[in-house]
Amino acid sequence: MATEKTMEPLWWGLFSAGGVVAAFLVPIHIILVGFAVPLGWTSDTGALYHIWWVRLYLFVLIVLPLYHWAHRFYFTLNDMGLKAISKLLAVLCYGGAIVGTLVTAWILLKI
Amino acid sequence: MSVVGPDPGKLYHRKMPATWWLTNPSYFLFMLRELSSVFIALFLVVYLCQIYQLSQGPDAYTAFTQKLSSPGWILFHFVALLFALYHSITWFQSSAVVLPLRIGERAVSRSIVLALHVAAWLIVSVIVLVLFLALKS
């Protein structure tokens, strides 16, 4: 119980930071990745992903909204009547975001 | 350590049907806003898969971006974009409430704070677009 209480500000801070990143940056990236390149409005060879600060930016862009998702989805599932398994949901949601962080870091270091 | 607050087992919990959010339009909009995070996360996972293709060579990367031109993926990105825009607007609206702006003694109205957020959002989006076009080749 004590650890849950001290962890709360951390999760909330990551939720909030992820919400800001998602609000300001995600729509333009969906337009670029989902429409502009596939529909041929512009070309993309992936060359820009070899620039170190672009990778750092992508790490922030991808990872922070994952924590935003984890926090929101955890509380949404609780509100939808799954409170009985709330401990398991916490592990799946926040654990999922932590795994996502590690996978993102691994991929960005690998390319 | 002493226990603070009542025993959770003894508290009364009103039973809520799992469909409570379908009973009122504002509950439904609340649920849409919560679900926006799912579509944003799904988009980012797909994007990460695309970036991963670079480790498989430039051809794999190009093949992946061409695969995204199929109607199914366009529909997915269209839905993701609608949810992302809904998240942006609702986030800026709540920021205007959570972080009220003051100039001297006067509180700046929420609609102006919202407009400032939208303006900043458009500027940031243009910067990302320009950087993408400048760095892509």
- The stretch B58-76 carries a mean pLDDT of 95
pLDDT at residue A19 greater than cutoff 80: yes
Mean pLDDT of B88-102: 88
Contact at CB, B45 and A35, closer than 8 angstroms: no
**Residue B3 or B62, more confident:** B62
Query: What are the contacts of A33-37 at 24+ separation with CB within 8 A?
Result: A33/B43, A33/B46, A33/B47, A33/B50, A33/B68, A33/B77, A34/B43, A34/B68, A34/B73, A34/B74, A34/B76, A34/B77, A34/B78, A34/B80, A34/B81, A35/B74, A35/B77, A37/B65, A37/B68
Q: Which residue of B has its CA nearest to A2?
A: B1
pLDDT in tens, B71-93: 999 999 999 999 999 999 999 99
pLDDT of residue B3 exceeding 60: no
What is the Cα–Cα distance from B32 to A93, expressed in whole angstroms?
A: 18
**Helix B110-135 and helix A2-30, axial crossing angle in degrees, nearest 10:** 60
pLDDT band at A5; cut points 50, 70, 90? low
The yes/no answer on whether domain A2-110 falls in CATH 4.10.93.10 is no
Q: What is the pLDDT of residue A3?
A: 57
- How far does the CA of residue B125 sit from the closest CA of chain A (Å)? 6
Q: What is the per-residue pLDDT for B106?
A: 85
**Confidence band of A7 (pLDDT split at 50, 70, 90):** confident
Q: Is A35 on the interface with B (CB under 8 A)?
A: yes
Could you state, in order of their start, the residue ranges of all structural domains in chain A? 2-110
ipTM for the predicted complex comes to 0.91
- Residue corresponding to tokens 């839905």: B79
Q: Is the pLDDT of residue B4 over 80?
A: no
Q: Say which range, A2-11, A23-32, A58-67, A99-108, has the weakest mean pLDDT.
A: A2-11
Chain A neighbors of B62, CB-CB under 8 A: 45
pLDDT band at B2 (very low <50, low <70, confident <90, very high): low
Residue A56 CA to residue A105 CA, distance in Å, equals 9
The pLDDT value recorded for residue B26 is 87
Q: Give me the residues of A, 71-110, that contact B with CB < 8 A.
A: 72-73, 75-76, 79-81, 100, 103-104, 107-108, 110
Give the mean model confidence (pLDDT) for residues B102-122. 90
pLDDT in tens, B24-58: 888 888 889 999 999 999 999 999 999 999 999 88
As a whole number, mean pLDDT of residues B108-137 equals 93
pLDDT of residue B97: 86
For domain B23-135, which CATH number applies: 1.20.1300.10, 3.30.310.50, 2.170.8.10, 3.40.50.150?
A: 1.20.1300.10
Kindly indicate the confidence band of residue A81, based on its pLDDT and cuts at 50, 70 and 90: confident
Confidence of residue B109 (pLDDT cuts 50, 70, 90): confident
Average pLDDT over residues B7-27: 80
